Chain A
């Protein structure tokens, strides 16, 4: 199996004097293997390290220990050939204030070989994004849309999106989720890592979900598998065999019903239920 994203012992220290017993590292140590074609929802509370993880994976932040690789190359030494295959939209879009949307796309087309301008313009129209407006006159939602259209314009094989839909209305969010799979001209499916607090949106599109807490991976699992097999059972004390123990609601253990027959009758968990259990 080819990996689109790989991390080995990826660690970012917290600056001296600011670390605590509860949290020694801003990130990690993280080991992660994301197969090609996976659509991964990156989920965690504010401050869990979602943006930091994305920046480390992209080589925009330099880890203190360990290594990340994208499409087989070290993140800190990506060749232009791999850069051409990456798309990224930061949480706060990096736009040129004086340029309008169309000019942004023209700039991209000048740098990236694969930009298909007509398709990008069509996508912008579907997202209801005015391309003639200067970036500094766009609402935050429209700035996010422009960042997403730009991240997709060159048909990337690997797409990283940091909170791309936070300011979008529900209709635009639905169109955004369709866009994750749009503008695809190659046969191989695109790999996507997308962080969001809008978990019901993620439930529609993800193949995997990655729960992050205090800079560490708590759980990385196929979403269908999580829905079919992960269950909560009452447990007053932590059980070393459970995936996680939550002290809330009198104590609950998160278990895999394949190894825990008494959990078979328990109801399935939504992504929000899982997030709550994993963070209490």
Chain B
């Protein structure tokens, strides 16, 4: 990983525990193929220091991912993506990872009384502008 600083997007104010935010982000990056077998993760210390969070929280997340088989500990390097970790084969697996966010979006859309087609349009616009922002 060239830039461990920008690696995780951690938001302590969210209702999701920090360790879970890290776990889910690694799951998504591996499933999406953006992290492949052998890729290094930033050290526990670097992540904790960058985000001013408890190092134990980061190591809890890494240990869970190790138990899941997604990461493995490599001597002298730290945590790397496990050799047998595969990107999700079919699109449906990827969509499953997005499901909680989609449900939240749908709930808020209903609460605000926004017609579905307008919400879908807005999402499509957001996805496109994100595409353009990418280097």
**A residues with CB within 8 A of B:** 37, 39, 174-175, 177-178, 181, 189, 200, 203-207, 223-224, 227-228, 267-270
Query: Which bucket holds chain B's interface residue count?
Result: 10 to 19
| Docked-complex contact A267 and B12, CB < 8 angstroms | no
Contact surface of B with A, Cβ cutoff 8 Å:
12-13, 15-20, 48-49, 51-57, 60
Task: State in angstroms the CA–CA spacing of A228 and B15 once bound together.
Answer: 8
In the complex, chain B residues whose CB is within 8 Å of the CB of A39: 54, 56
Contact B52 A189 (CB under 8 A): no
Query: If the complex has contacts A224-B19, A227-B15, A227-B16, are A207 and B52 also in contact, measured as CB distance less than 8 A?
Result: no
With contacts A178-B49, A181-B54 taken as known, whether A203 is within 8 angstroms of B19 at the C-beta atoms is no
Report how many A-B pairs have Cβ atoms within 8 Å: 50
Q: List 24 A-B contacts (CB under 8 A).
A: A37-B56, A175-B52, A177-B52, A178-B48, A178-B49, A181-B48, A181-B54, A200-B13, A203-B13, A204-B51, A204-B52, A205-B54, A207-B56, A207-B57, A223-B17, A224-B18, A224-B20, A227-B15, A227-B16, A228-B20, A267-B15, A268-B15, A268-B16, A270-B13
C-alpha gap A268/B17 in the complex (Å): 10
Query: Min CB distance, A179 to chain B, in Å?
Result: 10
Q: List chain A residues, Cβ under 8 A from B17.
A: 223-224, 227-228
Q: Which of B51, B54, B55 has the most CB of A within 10 A?
A: B54
User: Across the interface, which residues of B come within 8 angstroms of A207, CB to CB?
Assistant: 54, 56-57
Majority secondary structure of chain A interface residues (helix, strand, loop or mixed):
helix
Known: A224-B17, A228-B17, A268-B15. A189 touches B56 (CB 8 A): yes
Q: How far is the CB of B115 from chain A (nearest CB, A)?
A: 25
Residues of chain A within 8 A of B20, CB atoms compared? 224, 228
Pairs A-B, 9 closest by C-beta atoms: A268-B15, A224-B17, A177-B52, A204-B12, A205-B54, A203-B12, A174-B52, A227-B17, A204-B53
* Secondary structure of the B contact surface, majority rule: helix
- Chain B residue numbers with a CB within 8 Å of A204 are 12, 18, 51-54
Q: Write the nearest CB–CB distance from B100 to chain A, whole angstroms.
A: 13
CA distance A196 to B22 in the complex (A): 26
Given A203-B12, A267-B15, 8 additional A-B pairs, CB 8 A: A181-B55, A189-B55, A189-B56, A204-B18, A205-B54, A224-B17, A224-B19, A224-B20
Contacts of A227 in B (CB 8 A): 15-17
- The smallest beta-carbon distance between B69 and chain A, in angstroms, is 22
Judging by beta carbons under 8 Å apart, are B19 and A178 in contact?
Answer: no
Smallest Cβ distance from A122 to chain B, in angstroms? 14
Give chain B nearest CB distance to A277 CB in angstroms: 15
Question: Chain B's nearest CB lies how many Å from the CB of A159?
Answer: 13
Residues of chain B lying within 8 A (CB to CB) of residue A228: 17, 20
Chain B nearest Cβ from A39, distance in angstroms? 6
Cα–Cα distance between A206 and B51 once the two chains are bound (Å): 14
- How far does the Cβ of B76 sit from chain A's closest Cβ, in whole Å? 17
Report Cα–Cα, A39/B55, bound state, in Å.
Answer: 11
Closest B-chain residue to A205, C-beta based? B54
| Minimum CB–CB distance for B89 against chain A, Å | 30
